[in-house]
């Protein structure tokens, strides 16, 4: 078993690093962040780690067993947040709705609350600057997005939209340390946890954390995801300049969005759009291009953020293609800001319960609760190191579709990275399809109810033997 001497080295050696950059951004750190061969950020140790520094860094990493849990952090941060739900952690209030004013909603991935909140915090002086993710045109086709610092409204609004793409906080954290002001950080749950853990170790840095806006998170993707989608639309890897992962399509429900890519095709710069349903690899349940860390993560709702925002994947809202957010508020100052904006009709929000929030993320939660319990048990049975989680391992019948589906998700994740790297090397996207399609079909088969499985197999047999296509 490849292990290092510190907890963080164990995280890295066993493939659980998410590339957040907290370890590398610590002063005099021997860690650097680099992009792996499969398009994911990861920490690499480039010089010896002293035991003293090792102890501090073990407390900064969101996957280290030396770090505090999300529960411990949230208890310390939000003692006044008196509601609790197993899906959300502590909270004050939860809402579903959207931004009414301006073009926040149409510019955003969902209801526009992400950019509205950042903008509002800057306008009201509750924060001096925002640390969030924008399109990066400076680093070439294999680094399309990066964290940046915005100080005014126009800059802040450039950050709208979800980037299913690897990013790291390392440069931003170093910038914040060198330029102490009050920042609002936007990030995925593990990144927000890394910021909170850093703040616990560094009181000076803590003064710069004015607010944390967390994004609900299903999982992250490697650069391969964007490249694979663009390749299916005729833009080869290395020729992709920009991608909108959440293009709102007219007259379609919110969950039937599209992807828009810009790049070079046959010597011309082109823009192409397609509904995700027509693109292979966009089924989030299948989890292609997913980092290993995401299969060992139990924070879906960014439980350490002052406010978490996501999509309202609920029957009442999903039909509205303009996009609707869920909002889980833990900090009094955010609650006041949002309530005031509702009174002046700048926002339309409806109070929802913790159960409603959980229902809006049922697939992500099932994967990171029951699914995680099963994966933890399988990892333990294999005698492999893994990070400690708030979810307890639970073994299941290895022949059950549920356990086989969890195993297949791991295989799909691993195969997607390896097969896409080979497809790129050989310039042959069909190699990727040929490797993944049989696994994807098996996964779909296991996801069906027993009756549907029998019917699907019957249809396949009829097709095979009679050439007759059943509708």
In the complex, the residues that contact ligand FAD under the rule CB under 6 A are 108-115, 118, 132-133, 159-164, 167, 186-188, 215-218, 220, 309-311, 323, 325, 361, 364
d(CA 464, CA 291): 37
Query: Minimum CB separation from ligand FAD for residue 347, in Å?
Result: 11
Q: Which of 46, 72, 47, 48 is nearest to 59 (CA)?
A: 72
**Minimum gap (Å) between residue 36 Cβ and ligand SF4:** 11
**154 CB contacts (<8 Å, ≥6 apart)?**
none
CB atoms inside a 10 Å sphere around CB 318: 17
Q: Which is nearer to ligand SF4, 122 or 159 (CB)?
A: 159
- Count other Cβ atoms within 10 Å, centred on residue 142: 13
d(CA 261, CA 240): 7
Q: Order of strands across the sheet with 268-275?
A: 240-247, 258-265, 268-275
- Determine which residue in the list 38, 43, 133, 329 makes contact with ligand SF4, applying CB under 6 A: 43
Separation CA 216–CA 303 (nearest Å)? 9
Compute how many other C-beta atoms are within 10 angstroms of the C-beta atom of residue 158: 14
Q: Where are the alpha helices (DSSP H) in 59-215?
A: 70-77, 104-107, 113-123, 153-157, 170-178, 189-201, 203-206
C-alpha 124/C-alpha 122 separation (Å) is 6
Residue with smaller CB distance to ligand SF4, 12 or 440: 12
Binding of residue 187 to ligand SF4 (CB under 6 A)? no
Q: Would you say 49 or 254 has its CB closer to ligand FAD?
A: 254
| Least distance to ligand FAD, CB of residue 229, Å | 14
Binding at 30: pick from ligand FAD, ligand SF4, none (beta carbon under 5-8 Å per type): none
Q: Binding partner of residue 190 among ligand SF4, ligand FAD, none, CB under 5 to 8 Å per kind?
A: ligand SF4
Please report whether residue 18 would count as binding ligand SF4 according to CB under 6 A.
yes
In the window 291-320, what residues touch ligand SF4 (CB under 6 A)? Answer: 293-294, 297, 299
What is the smallest separation between the CB atom of 153 and ligand SF4, expressed in angstroms? 28
Restricted to residues 274-293, the positions that interact with ligand SF4 (CB under 6 A) are 293
Using the rule CB under 6 A, is 328 a contact of ligand SF4?
A: no
HSE, CB side, 13 Å, CA atoms: give it for residue 382. Answer: 11
Name the binder of 112 from ligand SF4, ligand FAD, none, CB < 5-8 A by kind. Answer: ligand FAD
Tell me the two tokens of residue 180.
Answer: 């102490």
How many residues of this chain bind ligand SF4 (CB under 6 A)?
Answer: 26
By CB under 6 A, is residue 20 in contact with ligand SF4? yes
Contact footprint for ligand SF4 (CB under 6 A): 8, 11-12, 17-23, 43, 60-63, 188-190, 194, 217, 219-220, 293-294, 297, 299
């Amino acid at each position: 078993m490849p292990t290092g001497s510190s907890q963080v080295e164990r995280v890295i050696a066993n493939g659980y690093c998410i590339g957040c950059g907290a370890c590398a951004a610590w002063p005099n750190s021997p860690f650097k962040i680099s992009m792996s061969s499969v398009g994911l950020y990861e920490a690499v140790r480039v010089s010896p780690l002293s035991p003293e520094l090792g102890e501090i860094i073990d407390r900064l990493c969101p996957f280290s067993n030396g770090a505090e849990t999300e529960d411990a952090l949230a208890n310390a941060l939000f003692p006044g947040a008196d509601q609790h739900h197993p899906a959300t952690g502590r909270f004050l209030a939860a809402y579903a709705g959207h931004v009414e004013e301006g073009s926040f909603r149409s510019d955003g991935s969902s209801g526009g609350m992400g950019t509205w909140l950042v903008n509002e915090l800057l306008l009201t002086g509750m924060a001096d600057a925002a640390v969030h993710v924008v399109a990066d045109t400076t680093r070439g086709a294999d680094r399309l997005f990066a964290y940046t610092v915005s100080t005014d409204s126009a800059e802040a609004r450039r950050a709208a939209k979800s980037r299913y793409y690897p990013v790291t906080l390392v440069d931003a954290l170093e910038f914040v340390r060198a330029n102490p002001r009050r920042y609002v950080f936007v990030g995925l749950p593990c990144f927000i946890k890394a910021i909170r853990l850093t703040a616990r170790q560094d009181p000076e840095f803590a003064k710069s954390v004015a607010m944390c806006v967390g994004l609900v998170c299903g999982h992250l993707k490697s650069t391969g995801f964007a490249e694979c989608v663009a390749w299916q639309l005729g833009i080869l890897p290395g020729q992709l300049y920009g991608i909108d992962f959440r293009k709102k399509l007219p007259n379609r429900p919110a969950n039937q969005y599209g992807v828009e890519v810009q790049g070079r095709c046959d010597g011309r710069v082109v823009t192409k759009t397609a509904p995700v349903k027509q693109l292979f690899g966009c089924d989030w349940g299948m989890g292609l291009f997913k980092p290993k860390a995401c299969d060992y993560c139990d924070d879906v709702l960014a439980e350490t953020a002052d406010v978490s925002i996501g999509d309202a994947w609920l029957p009442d809202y999903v039909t509205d293609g303009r996009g609707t957010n869920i909002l889980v508020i833990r900090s009094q100052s955010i609650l006041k800001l949002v309530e005031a904006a509702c009174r002046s009709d700048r926002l339309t929000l409806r109070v929802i319960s913790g159960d409603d929030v959980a229902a809006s993320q049922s697939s992500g939660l099932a994967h990171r609760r029951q699914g995680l319990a099963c994966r933890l048990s399988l990892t333990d049975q294999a005698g492999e190191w893994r990070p400690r989680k708030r979810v307890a391992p639970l073994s299941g019948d290895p022949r059950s579709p549920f356990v086989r589906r969890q195993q297949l998700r791991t295989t799909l994740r691993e195969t997607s990275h390896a097969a896409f790297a080979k497809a790129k090397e050989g310039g042959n996207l069909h190699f990727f399809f040929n490797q993944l399609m049989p696994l994807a079909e098996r996964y779909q088969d296991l996801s069906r109810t027993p009756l549907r499985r029998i019917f699907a197999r019957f249809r396949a047999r009829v097709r095979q033997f009679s050439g007759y296509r059943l509708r």
